[in-house]
Amino acid sequence: MQKFNLYYAWLLLLAVAPFSLQAQVDLFAEKEEPITDIVTATFKTTRVVNGHSIENVGKGILDFRILHRFGQFSDGAYNLFGLDQASIRLGLDYGITKNWMVGIGRSTFEKQYDAFTKIRLLSQTTGGREFPLSLSYAATVIYKSVKNPTTAYVPYQSDRLSYAHQLIIARKFGDYFSFQVTPTYFHYNLVQTQTTPNDFMSVGLASRIRISKRVNLTGEYYYRINKLPNPDYKDALSIGFDIETGGHVFQLHMTNSTGMTERTFIHETTGEWGKGNIRFGFNVSRVFTIVKPKEFRNPAGL
């Protein structure tokens, strides 16, 4: 009888042993942390309309960008409602790293040259470690090369320079809406009178609303906190559509700005929406891969 009881005791021990071992493994196993994802495509391209968006071009990517503005609707039928006229900016943007890009450009309006750098400082994330917004810093230098009227004062070359510093703060609220705030500090090396300040502040507001899989409605507005002493200058307002076509984004928009540098579209916009001083325009780009990512390189180095 004693051997019989011992036999069943061994059977019971063998039956519960796997469950006991599994319980100990589960008890001491490390818990896997949720994956942290970086939020992408807050905006569809590196420009909202005239101003910078939070987005950067990829590392090793060269973006040849054309910004085109026609004349004002208020010019009437004789000028085909502005289509007889044009103002263009040609630019080259390059991604040094995934978070750092630089660019240069040349505008027909006032024959301006510009160069900028934009650095992503923080990224919006979801999942394991959530962070609510993205933050970038952009710095731009602008050189106005158009010849000045003949005056007694002969300007220095440095008088033609102006500078912009911007913090770009953006958040993507799901797939259908994004919003961006851009505090901007601007400095003129030369102003018209001694009483005119050299430094100016403004705040840019921008948004993206998804309409369909390939079409987004965008808006951009810059409010000037302090202004140049010229009543003809207005706040810049632009509304447009971003259309995704085969990996590229084609932008169509309406704006009251002629210039496409921070100097001209933020502080020197003369168009007024209520008077029909609106310009139809578009932005188009073509990207080229200059440096291939390592994971896509041929093992033979080709």
**Which domains are assigned to the chain?**
49-291 (2.40.160.40)
Chunked into runs of 10 residues, the chain (302 residues) has average pLDDT values of 51 49 49 80 94 94 94 82 86 95 95 97 90 96 85 77 97 95 95 87 96 94 93 94 85 94 94 90 91 63 45
Structure tokens at 229: 């002493």
Task: Report the alpha-carbon distance of residue 228 to residue 239 in Å, rounded.
Answer: 24
pLDDT value, residue 73: 81
Tell me how far apart the alpha carbons of residues 196 and 188 are, in angstroms, rounded to a whole number: 10
- Distance, in Å, from the CA atom of 141 to the CA atom of 186, rounded to the nearest integer, reads 10
DSSP-assigned letter for residue 39: -
Which residue carries 């003949």 as its tokens?
150
pLDDT of residue 9: 52
Region of residue 266 (left: phi > 0; alpha: psi -120 to 50; beta: else): alpha
- Can you tell me the distance from the alpha carbon of 206 to that of 220, in angstroms, rounded to the nearest whole number? 4
pTM value surpassing 0.85? no
- Residue 248 is predicted with a pLDDT of 79
Distances (CA, A) of 255 to 67, 140, 272, 279: 12, 21, 9, 5
Which among 138, 139, 174 is positioned nearest to 54, based on CA atoms?
Answer: 138
Q: What is the rounded CA–CA span in Å between residue 87 and residue 51?
A: 16
In this predicted structure, what is the pLDDT of residue 302? 44
Which pLDDT score, from 0 to 100, does residue 11 have? 47
Strands 134-144 and 112-122: antiparallel
Q: What are phi and psi of 214, to 5 degrees?
A: -115, 0
Q: Could you tell me the two tokens for 176?
A: 């259908």
pLDDT value, residue 74: 81
Give the bridge partners for 284, in sequence order. Answer: 66
Q: Strand 36-38 relative to strand 279-289: parallel, antiparallel, unpaired?
A: unpaired
